[in-house]
Amino acid sequence: MQLRAYSQERDLAHIERIWREIGWMNPNNKPMVATTMGAGRTWVAEVDGAAEAQASTAPGTLNYLGNEIPLAAVTAVATSHVGRKKGLATRVLAEALQEVRSGGAMLAGLGMFDQGFYNRLGFGTGSYEHSVAFDPATLTIKTRARTPQRLGADDVPQMHAARLARLRTHGANTLLPVAATLAEVQDHPENSGLGYCDNPDGSLSHFIWFGASNLEHGPYRIRLIAYQTYDQFLELLALLRDISDQVNAVELREPAGIQLQDLIQQPLKHIRVQGKGYEAFNHAAAFWQTRILDLPGCLAHTHLNAETLRFNLRLSDPFAVLAADSTRWHGEGGDYTITLGRECGAERGFSAGLEQLDASVNAFSRLWLGVRPASGLAVTDDLSASDALLQALDRTLRLPVPLVDWTY
C-alpha cells in the first residue's frame, strides 16, 4: 500500500469507480467527482497499482465569535469494496491531516457517516442541526416577495460569492474555492434557484437553490441558501410561500438564531398529521465533527466576554498512535497552561498552583467550540476535572450553539 498525492490522469477513473461502488456517483452527477477532487487537495491509498481509498480536503474558515479561523474541510473520504477493513481510510485521512496542518489549518471538520470512526483521529461530535419540513402555505410571515431572478448552473460564481458574503454566526463554516459550490450544484444537476441582486454593484445578494424528486408537488429540499440580513431570509421564505399553491412541503435546515416554528401556523398539529409523503417534521441530528489541529493557534483567535480563567490541561490525542512512526506532527497531545478570557492562550507545560483538566482533543474541541458545557462533557465524553473547575468552565465558555451552515 502506498500513500501519495492524487493525480487526475492516474487516479480519476479509479475514484469514479469507488464512488460508483459506494453509491455516491451516478451518470447524472459524474462531473461532481473531478470537481470535488480539484476543490482543494486529495490523497489516495494505492493498492496493486490502483487507488482504492481517497481523502479530499478544501481550504476554508470557521467563524468563532466573529473571528475567522483557518479550517481544513474534509469533503470526501471513500474506500472501495476491495479496500475495506484494511485501515486505508484511516491512514489516508491521517496523511491528509498531516499535510493540511503543516499548511496552516488550525481546525479540521467533516460530515460523518456515523459516530465513532473519526473519533480515532481526534474528531469530536458537533451540535444538533434541525431539519424542518412544513407546508409553505402555513408560513405566517408578513413579508411579500418581489419578482426574483432565476438561477442556473451558469450562475455558480455568483452563488459562491453570495455564500462567502452571507450572514455568518458562531460555528459557521465557509469553503473558499468556487469549486466547492460547483460540486454541490453538479451533485444535483436537475435543481434550480431563485434570488435577488441587491448588492450595490448589482451582484447576487441572497438566494435559494432547491430541488425535488417530484417537482410538481414536492417535497422541495432547500440545498443552498445565503442571505446577508434576516429581512432577506424572510423574503426567501416568502418566495417559498408563493409556490405553495402547488408545492405541498418544503424541507429546510433551521438557520442560527431562528426558530422556524415561530413562523409556521399550527406547527404541532401539522406534525401530528402524517401521510402521502408530505409529512411535516422537525428532526435533529449531530452529523458533523471537528477537531483542533493547532491548539495555541485556535486559542490565539479566541476572545471571550468573561473574566480570566487559568488552568492546567493534560490533553490526549489519539492521532499520536497513528503518527507513531512519523517524523512529522504527532497531534496536539501534551501538558499545557490554558488562559481563557478576553485574551486566550495555550503554553506548553504546567504552571504551579493551578487546577488540572484532563481531556482528549475530541472532548476539548467540543468544549472550546461550545457544543456542550464542561459539566455535560464530563458525563458523556473523555473529560474530567474538579467540580469547581467544571463550574468555572461552564461560566467562562457560555457560547452560542455552533452551527456549520455549510455542509460538506
HSE of 398 in the Cβ direction (CA atoms, 13 Å)? Answer: 7
Low-confidence ranges of the chain (pLDDT < 50): none
In angstroms, the CA 36 to CA 123 distance is 22
What is the three-state SS of the chain? CEEEECCHHHHHHHHHHHHHHCCCCCCCCCHHHHHHHHCCEEEEEEECCEEEEEEEEEEEEEEECCEEEEEEEEEEEEECCCCCCCCHHHHHHHHHHHHHHHCCCCEEEEECCCCCCHHHHCCEECCCEEEEEECHHHECCCCCCCCCEEECHHHHHHHHHHHHCCCCCCCCEEECCHHHHHHHHHHCCCCEEEEECCCCCCCCCEEEEEECCCCCCCCEEEEEEECCCHHHHHHHHHHHHHCCCCCCCEEEECCCCCCHHHHECCHHHHHHCCCCCCCCEEEEECCEEEEECCHHHHHHCCCCCCCCEEEEEEEECCHHHHCCCCCCCCCCCEEEEEEECCCCEEEECCCCCCCEEEEEHHHHHHHHHCCCCHHHHHHHCCEECCHHHHHHHHHHCCCCCCCCCCCC
Whether domain 294-396 has CATH 3.40.50.1240: the reply is no
pLDDT at 402: 98
| Pairing between β-strand 281-285 and β-strand 129-134 as defined by DSSP bridges | antiparallel
List Cβ neighbours of 142 (8 Å cut-off, separation of 6 or more).
Answer: none
Q: Is 111 exposed, middle or buried (0-12, 13-18, 19+ CB in 10 A)?
A: middle
Give residue limits of the domains in the chain: 2-105, 130-285, 294-396
pLDDT at 268: 84
Whether domain 130-285 has CATH 3.40.630.30: the reply is yes
Dihedrals phi, psi of 152, to nearest 5 degrees:
-135, -170
For residues 138 and 24, the answer to whether their CB atoms sit within 8 Å is no
Q: Considering the entire predicted model, what is its pTM? A: 0.94
For residues 51 and 44, the answer to whether their CB atoms sit within 8 Å is yes
In angstroms, the CA 215 to CA 49 distance is 44
Q: 2-105 sits in which CATH class?
A: alpha beta
Amino acid at 312: N
In angstroms, the CA 295 to CA 178 distance is 29
Closest by alpha carbon to 250, among 285, 225, 228, 231?
A: 225
Sign of CA dihedral 351, 357, 361, 367: negative
The C-alpha cell that represents 99 in the structure block: 499535510
In angstroms, the CA 315 to CA 302 distance is 18
The C-alpha cell that represents 180 in the structure block: 466547492
pLDDT at 274: 65
Within 10 A of 6 (CB to CB), how many other CB atoms are there? 19
For residues 54 and 25, the answer to whether their CB atoms sit within 8 Å is no
In angstroms, the CA 114 to CA 213 distance is 25
For residues 107 and 62, the answer to whether their CB atoms sit within 8 Å is yes
pLDDT at 283: 87
pLDDT at 277: 66
276-335, pLDDT tens digit by residue?
A: 566 778 889 999 999 999 999 999 999 999 999 999 999 999 999 988 777 789 999 999
The C-alpha cell that represents 66 in the structure block: 466573529
**Within this chain, domains 2-105 and 294-396 share the same CATH topology:** no
Amino acid at 62: L
Amino acid at 71: L
Could you give the angle at the alpha carbon of 94 between the alpha carbons of 170 and 344, nearest 5°?
35
pLDDT at 275: 61
